[in-house]
């Protein structure tokens, strides 16, 4: 007998039929001889509707009350899921985040889990119940309702799996698992059977569609092995775990594409200590999320500093960057959208040289111009024109095919 | 400075604009120098939608989970109301029933309030906050979410007013107050300024539109004076309180009409002890709510027993009453709809004779046939054809006009 945590996302519980399907899956897992705790999200669309309602009563809804409001979304799903399980002849008890003992700090709308007191869960499991826990929510030590922010339900599942020492944590979602590349771009992209936490974190575009980085980081920190798989079929998904020796043998785990990027270049920045920190402090102050930053070796006392960000941030940058540029006495800045980031990811590349060279060569042969480069120990990213990124992804995926074991 | 409890029903908070209106009213009450606790219901339609969802996932939703589900309705409203108050520059904190210290028994979907621990409310008020409490819900001593059943939000308001010793309890709803008769029937019906708890309880059709009997009974038990008034205008409503001497001077407080009644007569019931109890035990067992029961003096060893019920109950009666009739060896039964109950109510009639005689005379002069009569100390009811009840109500209202102080 195993103790299993399952998590079902908003699409998986998106309507009454789907909730019944999830109830059936949960019940089958129990009837196969397992203890089961299921974490569920709000039905898809519900959270957006609640936020819309909030905006209709208040221009800037106060965060404590936004949490009180949004927490109802998951509360509806836990109740419906538990009812559906009863209707199928099982025994289930729903718990809000607060009832499940999920204690958080008091930072409303983006609270961090501080402690889990899973005694009520253990008692209910011992009495033969399936336990259905509301994802995304918790309470402060003073009993205030909090929510965990984006991807919060995954975090609830991973944290619960750690706290109750589950044998397995399954993240059910609307995709089959993590692929070597987006199958809509690369037709022969293949589902990855096992991936390390670090690779999952670096597979930005592929990974983030499935799961937010903070949940992966939490799983890594507490050593929670989890499987990402589809609610809508019975296939095995992708197992995310600590790196193993066999993983290292695969040079490239996958090819990742981030669209809708924008590149901002601040030109002729005086080359003196503290300038970069002043720039990026100011950018943080206007709440722009920066991705890649590149600064070339400076010549003649000035340098160009470039960074990429999401294209949605462009209006804010165009509105607020000028004072910063003047303050640091740079010449000016250019900002343009229409670019994308293409990355290859793999812990195997640590022990294999020439990965970067090969990637650049593939792109050069196709005449795709590389505008920026950034690398980490397990990832190489290039910024290219967005309208060539699909072609680039296909070529790179094909070029690294043998090293991705695609030909096995 | 007064401590005021206000309750706003589902129609009063039925959309974002109305919630903002309620927020404004609450804030004005505070700014006039009062401490205020507001109890709110689910937005109109929300509870019905949740029940519909429940029926879509389970044929017979388990009650614990139904409570978990339904409680979200009020939780949405408290959050939105508190947000709207903040948006208008006030300070409000929302509390679920559980957070407000409303402890109930563990009878899910129709829990009774067992105890109120209003310490959190007092602390929040002392800090200058408006407190917004979810109506209709509480928790058991084990922390399970419960709901109080129909009219539960009124009950929450009355119980809170009692527990925090409020100076005033205002029930805001979509009617102006309690009228001497339904103004749609009797054009010159007048709003009643003050009414006793007992009269309110007996004003079945008028009263129940405004408030369930259990809330009035609760208010009576704990001596909570409350005002029923409209959310949509600034007029004073009807004050409901213990009977006073001045109330006794008014013979008739109002005329009440219950439509859609049905009359069931069981014929030639053997006249022996225990028969009536067997009949009504069986009727209770098939979940039919009985209103008036009349049994005439028996002759020749048998008697006819008649009772009225809501017309909606007729199919159940036609389906299940036969075995009962056979068991008690009665001849048979007749059941027919299309009747209505017309009542005059007033604590003053205790000390005035001739009220019944006058009512019967008024109806007789108009040729309206009385099919059944039942009386209590402060109410006289007659069952007549439904298609003549409006006419009867007008005539009786006019006839008792002087004794209702309508001519003052």
Which ranges of B129-230 would DSSP assign to H, the alpha helix? Answer: 152-163, 197-202, 204-210, 213-222
Query: What DSSP assignment string belongs to A242-296?
Result: S--HHHHT-S--EEEEEEEEEEEEEEEEE--TTHHHHHHHHHHHTTPPEEEEEEP
Which residues, 6 or more positions from B187, have their beta carbon under 8 angstroms from its beta carbon? none
Interface of A with B (CB under 8 A): 16, 19-20, 23, 50, 53-54, 56-62, 64-66, 68-69, 71-72, 75-76, 78-84, 86-87, 93-94, 96, 99, 143, 145
Instruction: Determine what percent of chain B is predicted with pLDDT higher than 90.
Output: 66
Per the structure, the complete domain to which residue B331 belongs is given by 254-400
Last residue of a domain, one of B145, B174, B203: B174
Q: B163 to chain A nearest CA, in Å?
A: 21
The CATH number given to whatever domain includes residue B350 is 3.30.2130.10
Asked whether the beta carbons of B309 and B289 are under 8 A apart, the reply is: yes
In this complex, the residue of A53, A65, A83 whose CB is nearest that of residue B58 is A83
* Residue in A with minimal Cα distance to B100: A143
Give the integer Cα–Cα distance in Å for B119 and B99.
10
φ/ψ of B63, rounded to 5, equals -70, -35
Contacting residues of B for A134, CB less than 8 Å apart: none
Cβ pair B139, B103 in contact under 8 A: yes
Output A156 or B323, whichever has higher pLDDT. A156
What is the count of structural domains for chain A? 1
First to last CA, chain B: 35
Q: pLDDT tens digit string along B57-114?
A: 999 999 999 999 999 999 999 999 999 999 999 999 999 999 999 999 999 999 999 9
Measured between CB atoms, which of B58, B75, B87 is closest to A57?
B87
Chain segment A233-252, per-residue pLDDT in tens: 999 999 999 998 888 888 89
What is the per-residue pLDDT for B38? 98
**Sign of the CA dihedral with B309 first, then B312, B313, and B314 last:** positive
Q: Kind of pairing, strands B130-134 and B145-147?
A: unpaired
Percent composition of chain B: helix, strand, coil (DSSP 3-state, to 5): 40, 30, 35
B357 domain residue, yes or no: yes
In a domain, B81, yes or no: yes
- Residue A124 within a domain: yes
* C-alpha distance from B59 to closest chain A C-alpha (Å): 7
**B29 and B167 housed in the same domain:** yes
Q: Which residues of B touch A13 (CB under 8 A)?
A: none
| Rg of chain A, C-alpha, whole Å | 23
**pLDDT (mean) for B124-151:** 96
Q: How many whole angstroms separate alpha carbon B37 and alpha carbon B93?
A: 10
Which residues of chain A make contact with B134, given a CB cutoff of 8 A?
Answer: none
How confident is the model over A318-326, as a mean pLDDT? 86
SS3 A66: helix
* Residues 6 or more apart whose Cβ sits within 8 Å of residue A30: A36, A90, A130
Give yes or no: residues B10 and B125 share one domain.
Answer: yes
**CA separation (Å) from B155 to A362, B74, B135?**
73, 14, 8
Say which of A57, A75, A80 has its CB closest to residue B53.
Answer: A80
Same domain membership, residue B269 and residue B137: no
- pLDDT, one tens digit per residue, over A257-311 is 988 899 999 988 888 777 888 888 888 887 788 888 888 766 677 888 889 998 9
Single out the residue in B139, B174, B209 at which a domain terminates: B174
Starting from the edge strand earliest in sequence, which strands make up the sheet with A254-270, in order?
A: A290-295, A302-310, A254-270, A332-345, A379-385, A372-376
Coil, helix or strand at residue B15: coil
Say which of A20, A56, A61 has its CB closest to residue B57: A20
B371 by DSSP, 3-state: which? coil
Contacts of A187 by beta carbon, 8 Å cutoff, 6+ apart: none
> Among A92-106, A191-205, B68-82, whose mean pLDDT is lowest?
A191-205
What pLDDT does B365 receive?
93
Query: Could you give the angle at the alpha carbon of A245 between the alpha carbons of A242 and A251, nearest 5°?
Result: 95
Residue A345 CB partners (closer than 8 Å, separation 6+): A199, A202, A203, A252, A253, A254, A255, A256, A378, A379
| CATH number for the domain that contains residue B30 | 3.40.1160.10
In a domain, A161, yes or no: yes
Contacts 24+ apart (CB under 8 A), A350-357: A350/A248, A350/A377, A350/A378, A351/A248, A352/A251, A352/A403, A355/A251, A355/A252, A355/A380, A356/A380
Alpha helices in B165-263, H assignment, sequence order:
197-202, 204-210, 213-222, 245-248
Half-sphere exposure of A319 (CA within 13 A, CB side): 8
CA distance B117 to chain A (A): 15
**Mean pLDDT over all residues of chain A?**
91
**What DSSP element (H or E) covers A35?**
strand A35-40
Rounded CA-CA distance A224/A4 in Å is: 12
Work out the pLDDT band at A195, boundaries 50, 70, 90: very high
Q: Is A297 a member of any domain?
A: no
Look at residue A20 and tell me whether its pLDDT is greater than 70.
yes
Query: What's the N-to-C CA distance of chain A in angstroms?
Result: 35
The residue of chain B nearest to residue A17, with distances taken between CA atoms, is B57
Establish if A364 belongs to a structural domain: no
A75/B75 Cβ within 8 A: yes
Torsion angle, alpha carbons of A290, A296, A300, A304, to 10: -30
Indicate yes or no: pTM above 0.90: no
Q: Do B71 and A66 touch (CB under 8 A)?
A: no
The average pLDDT across A187-214 equals 83
Which of these three, B174, B200, B227, is where a domain ends? B174
The alpha carbon of B390 is separated from its chain's Cα centroid by a whole number of angstroms, namely 22
- Tell if the CB–CB gap between B66 and A76 is shorter than 8 Å: no
Residue B22 lies in a domain: yes
- CB-CB neighbors (< 8 A) of A109 in chain B: none
Contact at 8 Å (CB) between A312 and A279? no
Identify the burial level of B151 via C-beta atoms within 10 angstroms of its C-beta, where 0-12 means exposed, 13-18 middle and 19 or more buried: buried
Q: What's residue B404's pLDDT?
A: 80
Q: What is the pLDDT of residue A408?
A: 44
| A205 phi and psi angles, rounded to 5 deg | -70, -40
Q: What are phi and psi of B251, to 5 degrees?
A: -70, -50
Q: Choose the closest CB to A83 out of B23, B57, B84.
A: B57
Could B80 and A65 be called an inter-chain contact, meaning their C-beta atoms sit closer than 8 Å?
Answer: yes
Q: What is the ipTM of this complex?
A: 0.84
Domain membership flag for residue B27: yes
A99 closest CB neighbour out of B60, B71, B143? B143
């Amino acid at each position: 007998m195993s103790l299993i945590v399952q998590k079902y996302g908003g699409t998986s519980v998106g309507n009454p039929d789907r909730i019944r399907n999830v109830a059936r899956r949960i019940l089958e897992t129990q009837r196969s001889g397992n203890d089961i705790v299921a974490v569920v999200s709000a039905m898809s669309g519900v959270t957006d509707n609640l936020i819309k309602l909030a905006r209709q009563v208040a221009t800037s809804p106060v965060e404590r009350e936004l949490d009180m409001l949004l927490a109802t979304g998951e509360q509806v799903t836990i109740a419906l899921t538990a009812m559906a399980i009863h209707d199928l002849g099982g025994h289930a008890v729903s718990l809000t985040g607060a009832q499940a003992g999920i204690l958080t700090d008091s930072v409303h709308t983006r609270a961090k889990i501080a402690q889990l007191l899973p005694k009520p869960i253990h008692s209910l499991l011992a009495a033969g119940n399936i336990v259905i826990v509301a994802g995304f929510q918790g309470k402060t030590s003073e009993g205030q309702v909090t929510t965990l922010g984006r991807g919060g339900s995954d975090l609830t599942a991973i944290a619960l799996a750690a706290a109750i020492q589950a044998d397995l944590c399954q993240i059910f979602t609307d995709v089959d698992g993590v692929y070597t590349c987006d199958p809509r771009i690369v037709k022969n992209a293949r589902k990855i059977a096992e991936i390390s936490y670090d690779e999952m974190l670096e597979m930005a575009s592929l990974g983030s569609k499935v799961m937010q980085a903070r949940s992966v980081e939490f799983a890594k920190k507490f050593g929670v092995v989890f499987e990402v798989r589809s609610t809508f079929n019975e296939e095995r998904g992708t197992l995310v775990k600590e790196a193993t020796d066999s993983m290292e043998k695969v040079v490239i785990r996958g090819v990742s594409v981030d669209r809708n990027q924008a590149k901002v270049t601040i030109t002729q920045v005086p080359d003196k200590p503290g300038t970069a920190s002043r720039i990026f402090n100011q950018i943080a102050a206007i709440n722009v999320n920066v991705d890649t930053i590149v600064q070339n070796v400076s010549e003649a006392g000035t340098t160009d500093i470039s960074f990429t960000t999401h294209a949605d941030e462009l209006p804010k940058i165009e509105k607020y960057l000028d004072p910063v540029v003047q303050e640091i006495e740079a010449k000016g800045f250019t900002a343009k959208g229409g670019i994308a980031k293409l990355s290859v990811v793999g812990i195997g590349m640590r022990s294999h040289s020439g990965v970067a060279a090969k990637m650049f060569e593939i792109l050069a042969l196709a005449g795709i111009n590389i505008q920026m480069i950034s690398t980490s120990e397990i990832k190489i990213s290039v910024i290219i024109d967005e309208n060539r990124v699909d072609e680039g992804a296909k070529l790179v995926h094909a070029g690294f095919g043998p090293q991705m074991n695609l030909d096995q």
